[in-house]
Amino acid sequence: MSPHYTTADLPVQDADHRVGFLLSLAAGLHAHGTSTQQIEDALNQASSKLGIIAQFFVTPTSLFAAFGPQISQRTYLMRVEPGDTDLSRLARLDAVVVKVLASRMTPAEGAAEIGRIGQSSPPYGTFATTLAFAAASAAACRFLGGGFPEIAVATALGLLTGLLALFGNRIRAVQRVFTPLASFLAAGLAAAGGVWIGGYSTSIAMLAGLIALLPGMMLTTAMAELAANHLSAGTARLSGAFIVFIGMGVGVAFGQRLAVELVGEAVAVAPVPLPMWSLWVALGVASLSFAVLLKALRRDIPWIMVGGLVGFLGSRAGSHLLGAEFGVFLGALSVAVGSNLLARFTNRPAAITLVPSALLLVPGSVGFRSVTALLEQEAIAGVDTLFQMLLLAISLVAGLLFANLLAPERRLG
C-alpha cells in the first residue's frame, strides 16, 4: 500500500499543510487504482484551487511532486506500487477532496482523513468476495457461449481462484506467483475433468474460470494513457499487461500438459446453446459480482447494474450495425457519457459506474486466446487474435475519449 504522508514528514521550511494534503491525495489515488492522467488531473485541479504552484509526474511505480516557483522549487519522490481498484475508498477520497476545496475541511484534516480511509476495512468480507469470483466466472461462461455443464465447471474454477486469492493476500510468497499458479490449477483441473467427467468444453470452462484475473482493464488503461500522451506510464502498464497474459498462458500450457500426461486428453465437446433469457441473468450476475470485486459501496450497486445494462445494449446495437469493433466503441461511449452525467448530478466520481461497466467490454479474453495460440505454435492465429485484441482496445478507448466531448468530465471543487 502506498504510504500516507503528513506535514510531520516534511522539512520544517516546507511544513505547509496544503503540500501534505496533496501528497496524501496523490498516494491515495494511486493506491486505490486511479489511472495516471486522472491522478495528474486531480492533483492539478486541487493545487490550483489551493493556490499552490505545483507540477506532478506520475508513473505506475512512482510519484513526483514539485512545489513552488522554478528557481526555488522543492521536489518530492514517492516509490509506490500499482494498487487494485477500490471504488468505495475512491468515493470516500473524492468526498474528502470536495470538502477541502470547499473550505469545509482544512488540508491537515483532509490528509488525516485520507490516512484513515487507507486503513479502513473493505465493504465486503472474504466470503462474499470469494463467492463473487465464482459468480463472475459463471456469468463470463455464459457470455463466452458455454452451456450448463461449462457454467458449473467454470463456477467451481472461479471459486478455486477466489480461495487462492484469499491465501495470496495473506501469504506474500503465494501472492507473487498467484496468476500463473491459478492458471496452472484451473487449466489442469478443467482438462482432467474433461476426461473424468466429460460432456463439456474444457477451453470455455477454463477461460471463464480465470476471467477475474485477465488484465483487460490494465490493457485498456494503458491504451488510454498512451492516447493521452502519458507515454512512460502507458508503455509500462502495457508491458505489465502483456507479462500477465504471458504468465497466464504459461500456467495454462503447463496445466494442460500435465493433465494430458496423467489422465489423457479430453474429447472436444461443443457447448449446448442456452436460451436468450440466460444472457440477461448473466448480465445481472456479472454486474453484481464486479461491484463486489471492485469493492463498490452497496448504495452504488443499482447504478452499476444500470451502467452494465447500458453498455451491453450499446455494444450489442453497435455490433449488429457495423461489427464487433464498433460495438465496443458504442458500448464504451454509452457507458462513459452516462457515467459523466451521473457524476455531475451526484458530485461523485464517474469511475463508480464506469469501471465495472467497462469490464464487460474489455478484450481480456481475446488477448488470452492470442497468447495461448502462440504458445501452441499457431503463429498466424495468435497474431491475428492479438491484432483483434488491440483493435478492440483502441475502439474502447476511442469511445471513452469521444464521450468526454459529448459529456465533459466532472471537475473537482
Residue with cell 516534511: 10
Given a contact cutoff of 8 angstroms between Cβ atoms, the answer to whether 33 and 84 are in contact is: yes
Do 222 and 254 lie in one domain? The reply is yes
pLDDT tens digit sequence for 25-41: 999 999 888 888 889 99
In single-letter form, the type of residue at position 176 comes to: R
Asked whether residue 18 falls in the same domain as residue 162, the answer is: no
197-252, pLDDT tens digit by residue?
888 888 888 888 888 888 878 888 888 888 888 888 888 888 888 888 888 888 98
d(CA 49, CA 337): 26
The reply to whether 308 and 265 lie within a common domain is no
Do 130 and 277 reside in the same domain of the chain? yes
Q: In Å, what is the CA distance from 127 to each residue of 110, 208, 218, 304?
A: 32, 20, 26, 21
pTM metric for this prediction: 0.86
pLDDT for res 382: 59
The answer as to whether 62 is a domain residue is yes
Shared domain check, 240 and 102? no
Looking at residue 371, its pLDDT comes to 53
Q: Give which of 351, 219, 246 is closest to 290, Cα–Cα.
A: 351
pLDDT in tens, 324-358: 777 888 888 999 999 999 999 998 999 999 988 88
**2 within a domain of the structure (yes/no):** no
With a CB cutoff of 8 Å and minimum separation 6, the contacts of 335 are 307, 310, 311, 314, 353, 354, 357, 358, 361, 403
Q: What digits encode the pLDDT tens for the residues 298-323?
A: 999 999 999 999 988 888 888 787 77
- 266 and 150 in one domain? yes
364 compared with 253, residue with greater pLDDT: 253
Asked whether residue 372 carries a pLDDT value surpassing 80, the answer given is no
> Are 312 and 232 in the same domain?
no
pLDDT in tens, 189-202: 999 998 898 888 88
| Residue 367 falls inside a structural domain | yes
The pLDDT score that the predictor gives to residue 134 is 95
DSSP-derived secondary structure for 107-118: HHHHHHHHHHHH
Res. 13 pLDDT band, cuts 50 70 90: very low
Residues 190, 205: Cα–Cα separation, whole Å:
7
In a domain, 144, yes or no: yes
Average pLDDT, the chain: 84
| Predicted pLDDT of residue 228 | 81
Question: What is the structure's pLDDT at 377?
Answer: 55
Domain-ending residue, one of 118, 152, 184: 118
Q: Quick one: 51 and 66 in the same domain?
A: yes
Q: What angle do CA 293, 294, 300 make, to 5 degrees?
A: 110
The domain boundary, picked from 256, 282, 308, lies at 282
The one-letter amino acid at 249 = G
DSSP for 16-74?
Answer: -HHHHHHHHHHHHHHHTT--HHHHHHHHHHHHHHHT--EEEEEETTEEEEEES-GGG-E
| Within-domain flag for 331 | yes
**Is 381 found in the same domain as 300?**
yes
The predicted structure's pLDDT at residue 14: 41
In a domain? residue 161: yes
Identify any residues that bridge with 78 across adjacent strands, giving them in sequence order: 63
What is d(CA 332, CA 92) in angstroms, rounded to the nearest whole number? 25
Q: What average pLDDT score do residues 382-387 get?
A: 66
pLDDT value for 51: 87
Cα separation, 393 vs 116, in Å, equals 36
Which of 74-83, 140-149, 167-176, 337-346 is the least confident region?
167-176
The pLDDT of residue 95 is above 60:
yes
Distance in angstroms (rounded) separating the CA atoms of residues 413 and 391:
36
Query: DSSP character for 272?
Result: P
| Residue 200 and residue 130 share a domain | yes
Domain boundary, last residue among 282, 311, 341:
282
pLDDT at 383 (0 to 100): 61
Instruction: Judge residue 272's burial from the number of C-beta atoms within 10 Å of its C-beta, 0-12 exposed, 13-18 middle, 19 or more buried.
Output: middle
- Give the pLDDT of residue 5: 41
Between the alpha carbon of residue 392 and those of residues 319, 339, 353, the distances in Å are 12, 21, 21
Question: Which percentage of the chain shows pLDDT scores above 70?
Answer: 90
pLDDT of residue 231: 85
- Side-chain half-sphere CA neighbours of 147 within 13 A: 11
Total domain count, the chain: 3
One-letter amino acid of 272: V
Mean per-residue pLDDT for 55-61? 90
Closest to 324 in 3D by CA, of 282, 376, 365, 375 = 365
Instruction: Please report whether residue 287 resides in a domain.
Output: no
Cell of 231: 507515454
344 assigned to some structural domain: yes
- Which pairs from 69-74 meet CB under 8 Å and 24+ separation? 74/14
- Per the structure, the complete domain to which residue 304 belongs is given by 296-413
For residue 380, pLDDT beyond 90: no
User: Are residues 164 and 109 part of one domain?
Assistant: no
On the question of pLDDT at 400 being above 50, the answer is yes
Tell whether 277 and 359 lie within a shared domain.
Answer: no
With contact defined as beta carbons under 8 Å apart, do 413 and 101 qualify? yes
The residue ranking higher by pLDDT, 407 or 383, is 407
Which amino acid is present at 189? L
Beta-carbon contacts of residue 325 (< 8 Å; ≥ 6 apart): 391, 392, 395
**Which H, E and C letters describe 311-335, residue by residue?**
HHHHHHHHHHHHCHHHHHHHHHHHH
| Pick from 11-25, 72-86, 167-181, 396-410: least confident | 11-25
Alpha-carbon radius of gyration of the chain: 22
pLDDT tens digit sequence for 356-370: 888 888 755 554 555
Give the confidence band of 136 by pLDDT, cuts at 50, 70, 90. Answer: very high
